[in-house]
Amino acid sequence: MHRTTLATLISTVSVLATLTAAHAQDLGHYYSDAEIAKNSHPIERTYSPWVDRNLPQRPLFGDTHLHTAQSFDAVSFGTSVTPEDAYRFARGEEITSSTGVRGRLSRPLDFLVVADHAENMGTMGAVKDGLPEVMTDPTVREWHENLKAGGEDAMIPYYAILEAVDKGTGMPDVLSNERLTRSIWEANNAAAEKYNDPGAFTAFIGYEWSSNAGGNNLHRVVMYRDGADKANQMIPYSSFISENPEDLWDWMATYEAETHGQLLAIPHNGNLSNGRMYQDTMYDGSPITPEWAQTRAQWEPLIEATQEKGDGEAHPFLSPNDEFADYETWDKGNLNLSVPKTNEMLEYEYARSALQNGLKIEADVGVNPYQFGMIGSSDAHTGMAAMAEDNFFSKLPHVEPSEERLQA
């Protein structure tokens, strides 16, 4: 099942961002005086800027970054909304939230990406449910009791997994079972197929690659243009295999070569990377090469510049004369707050600086790795893409609408 909405979404953002020719659309031909003079049948001049233009005219609204109960952290926080529930909600149906609150959108979305973490995708649900094949491990049995108890106890497995993600280490072998991961991945994709309605609603397949190198956020949402027939052929690439984005790009290239499918990666929350997201070097600190710059530009034509963990477009230190540069700023440190933020890091975290530095890199190596379009997404872990101020279900279940919800 081909996801044609992706082509429209990417082409629209690409034109606005003046991306590479591969992503741009024909803006129409404007004839010079010389061309008109040479033509035996003079071409009528026109004032209207829309003559000969074929840009998409219909804006599409959706969320490319939503988590459900298939994400390990969402389960620990009490999320019970499934991928099927998430797609139904996005299509305009009423569902009941994880805290028992009925919810519905004021208008349906046009598209949704359920982007659960590749790391332990769905396995915490299996732990909470006491699936026999994972209960053979004593640590997993403890986590099962923690999740059943709820509250602070449920956070114990969350912090254990987060530490493993931060360090790039593995998990108990029973949770690294490829057969289990594949069954969960295929179930997620089946939900996307079920609710995909070409021309009305696009249910994209996707996941989040959650590299936390030393606590520094290098996360990407990997988004498929393909249906389950291709997506099912390879399970998601996890940061437990590698924390290096270059290895993720290699995996994406392998996927496209083997399935003839199409992928893109969307980085997010550079503001929590402590200067690692938009570096002027490669991942290992060596100078950027033309090949590296071209590869990054190929796989990452978009960035998620704003979401619930802070805005990543501009910062007042970098843009002191822009009164809007301090909008929704979160700059205390990296993702796990293990290293405090310093001003020297900021230039390599924010999109506006990345666009400037991309031009400098292009002058040096001939290719601009940071010529991207910008989008905003939710990163909600409630399974509900409800971000409107008068219908806000927030990021996590404990801040969903209620009299007892956590107050900021």
Structural domain includes residue 99: yes
Structural domain includes residue 76: yes
Q: What angle do CA 397, 165, 191 make, to 5 degrees?
A: 55
pLDDT score for 350: 98
Q: Coil, helix or strand for 351?
A: helix
Q: Is the dihedral of CA 350, 352, 358, 360 positive or negative?
A: negative
Q: Are 182 and 136 in contact (CB under 8 A)?
A: no
Structural domain includes residue 294: no
pTM: 0.87
User: For the chain, how many structural domains are there in total?
Assistant: 1
Report the C-alpha gap between 226 and 231 in whole angstroms.
6
pLDDT score for 43: 54
pLDDT score for 48: 81
Work out whether strand 220-224 and strand 263-267 pair parallel, antiparallel, or are unpaired: antiparallel
181: left (phi over 0), alpha (psi -120 to 50) or beta: alpha
pLDDT score for 165: 72
Structural domain includes residue 105: yes
Structural domain includes residue 93: yes
Q: What is the pLDDT along the chain (408 residues), one digit of tens a residue?
A: 557 555 445 544 443 343 333 333 334 454 455 655 555 555 566 678 777 777 777 889 999 999 999 999 999 999 999 999 999 999 999 999 999 999 999 999 999 999 999 999 999 999 999 999 999 999 999 999 999 998 899 999 988 888 877 776 667 889 888 999 999 999 999 999 999 999 999 999 999 999 998 899 999 999 999 999 999 999 999 999 999 999 999 999 999 999 999 999 999 999 999 999 999 999 999 999 999 999 999 999 999 999 999 999 999 999 999 999 999 999 999 999 999 999 999 999 999 999 999 999 999 999 999 999 999 999 999 999 999 999 999 999 989 998 776 555
- Residue at 287: amino acid letter: P
pLDDT score for 56: 77
Structural domain includes residue 49: no
Structural domain includes residue 202: yes
Range of the domain at 68: 1-12+63-206+377-403
pLDDT score for 20: 33
Q: Is the dihedral of CA 129, 206, 193, 394 positive or negative?
A: positive
Residue with tokens 């033509």: 39
Structural domain includes residue 84: yes
Q: Taking Cα atoms as reference points, which of 230, 242, 18, 33 lies closest to residue 119?
A: 242
pLDDT score for 403: 74
Token pair listed for 202: 């696009």
